[in-house]
Structure 1
Amino acid sequence: MKRAERLHALSEMLRRSGSRGCSAERLAHDFDVSVRTVKRDLEALERSGAPVWSRPGPGGGYGLAAGSSLPPVSLSASQAVALMAAVSAARDAPYSDSAAAGVQKILDVLDPRTRARADELAGRVWVSAPPSGSRAIRSAVEEAMAEQRVVRIRYTSQGGTTTDRDVEPVLFASRNGQWHLVGWCRTREAIRWFAVSRIQRANVTSTPCTGHTVDEVGEPPSHARAVHGQPD
């Protein structure tokens, strides 16, 4: 179990224990770690603003103040600013609006001291991001991808030819700094790459996709990977 997951599970166990609390030995046994590690985790929870209480002596232990509420993951100021910078620098990325909303939720539950440090540090990070394209178009292709429904687009090619296409979305890909909708084009009956910036109009239809997969697109370049992969 990763430490962030353990901290969340630890806070939930303390919450469930109520006024009885839990001993450090019991917590160490349940999480299969040392007592020393548990105490470090408890200190980390307390630094994050969690209302951890301790009761020394026989029958004592640790617990959380009644009625307390904790975020699922505790972030440092630098981690929070890293998320803010990543979202600000990628305004044209798929689901960037959802990402911005998610980051705001995280900021809203930071303890006041960490939030103040994050706000101060954020003022020292400048981002020059290119203007994002039409929000309506991005929302349509994002919805089509998430719901796996055919999207009808009006597309202007690099050569200036404009056509209407029905596309079954397969994946989003960033190539040479530009985002593409990659999908099965029903007009050409083949996988095609569409630069999102050249989509003039997009409407999600009620037609479900027929099951084209990422494998049909081929192998990604050696320097590319899916976003759920861990950084090298």
Structure 2
Amino acid sequence: MKRSERLLALSEMLRRNGSRGSSADRLAREFGVSARTIKRDLAALENSGAPIWSRPGPGGGYGLAAGASLPPVSLSPAQAVALMAAVSASPDAPYADLAAAGIRKIVDVLDPKTKARADELAGRVWVNAASPSSRTIKSALEEAMSEQRVVRIRYTSKDGNSTTRDVEPVLFASTNGQWYLVGWCRLRDAMRWFIVSRIERASVTKAACGGHTIHEVGEPPENARPVHGGGV
């Protein structure tokens, strides 16, 4: 691992550890370097503006000051391109437009050398993604999920029957190349999976969801996981 990459990973680990902190020896084992190298890395982070604290003695170590702001996000060219590729290849993913806007903000504040290298590397990654579904429909589904409000949809099933339903959104799921809206269908009084591409219309109502949770959907497949957490 290059030093620049190790510094990024080190700052992220300290952020995740919160107020617990980590000893230099533990950090050294984690990154496969000496404790002396870790201390030099910590000093470099502190000099760059990272709010690092140190606490001597048993149970001490290093961490990031609670409530303090971190210096501007720094990415390697490969990390920047990885983000761009992931969003470009999945335009139908929930909140993809917001993700693309967020990535543009991050890339725009990279130092000129890193940004130039990222732009050059991005030209070496091609994607052939399907056209995204209606922006109006996606916006309504995303808003309903974020605000936990009932969404009224016009849905055409596999056999061609169309119905209008009020749905309490519980989660978005991707499986077998399809995005689904999973929610409590008030028409059927049960949890249902709706293929997003078969939703012809969607509008957010003023009604709040009734509190149905992801636990009612059941256990996810072994190869499925949320989009956050340490396994990402």
Alignment partner, residue 78 of structure 1: 78
Alignment partner, residue 163 of structure 1: 163
For residues 8 and 105 of structure 1, the distance between their equivalents in structure 2, rounded to whole angstroms, comes to 21
Q: Is the 8 A contact 1:155 1:200 kept in 2?
A: yes
For residues 224 and 143 of structure 2, the distance between their equivalents in structure 1, rounded to whole angstroms, comes to 24
Shift of 1:79: 0.5
Kindly indicate whether residue 213 of structure 2 is the aligned counterpart of residue 213 of structure 1: yes
Alignment partner, residue 180 of structure 2: 180
State the SS of the aligned residue for 2:191.
strand
Alignment partner, residue 140 of structure 1: 140
What percentage of residue pairs aligned between the two structures are identical?
62
State the SS of the aligned residue for 2:168.
strand
RMSD, aligned α-carbons? 2.5
Unaligned residue ranges in structure 2 (runs of 5+): 1-8, 25-34, 51-69
For residues 45 and 89 of structure 1, the distance between their equivalents in structure 2, rounded to whole angstroms, comes to 37
Q: Give the 3 Å change call, closer, same or farther, for CA 132–45 of structure 1 in structure 2.
A: farther
After superposition, residues 1-232 of structure 1 pair within 5 angstroms as 3-5=10-12, 32-33=23-24, 34=35, 36-43=37-44, 70-71=71-72, 73-231=73-231
Shift of 1:39: 2.2
State the SS of the aligned residue for 1:222.
coil
Q: Hey, which bits of structure 1, 4+ residues long, moved more than 4 A?
A: 6-9, 41-46
Q: Give the 3 Å change call, closer, same or farther, for CA 191–8 of structure 1 in structure 2.
A: closer
State the SS of the aligned residue for 1:118.
helix
State the SS of the aligned residue for 1:221.
coil
Shift of 1:44: 6.9
1:201-228 per-position Cα deviation (integer Å, ceiling 9, x unaligned):
0000110000001011111111111111
State the SS of the aligned residue for 2:164.
strand
- In the alignment, residue 39 of structure 1 is paired with which amino acid? R
Q: Is the 8 A contact 1:4 1:74 kept in 2?
A: no
State the SS of the aligned residue for 1:227.
coil
For residues 92 and 82 of structure 2, the distance between their equivalents in structure 1, rounded to whole angstroms, comes to 18
- In the alignment, residue 177 of structure 2 is paired with which amino acid? G
Unaligned residue ranges in structure 1 (runs of 5+): 10-29, 53-68
For residues 199 and 12 of structure 2, the distance between their equivalents in structure 1, rounded to whole angstroms, comes to 41
Q: Give the 3 Å change call, closer, same or farther, for CA 195–117 of structure 1 in structure 2.
A: same
- Count how many residue pairs are aligned between Structure 1 and Structure 2: 191
Q: Give the 3 Å change call, closer, same or farther, for CA 51–217 of structure 1 in structure 2.
A: closer
State the SS of the aligned residue for 1:140.
helix
For residues 152 and 15 of structure 2, the distance between their equivalents in structure 1, rounded to whole angstroms, comes to 43
Rg larger for: 1
Q: Is the 8 A contact 1:7 1:45 kept in 2?
A: no
Shift of 1:108: 1.1
Q: Give the 3 Å change call, closer, same or farther, for CA 203–165 of structure 1 in structure 2.
A: same
Shift of 1:8: 7.8
- In the alignment, residue 198 of structure 1 is paired with which amino acid? R
For residues 51 and 168 of structure 1, the distance between their equivalents in structure 2, rounded to whole angstroms, comes to 45
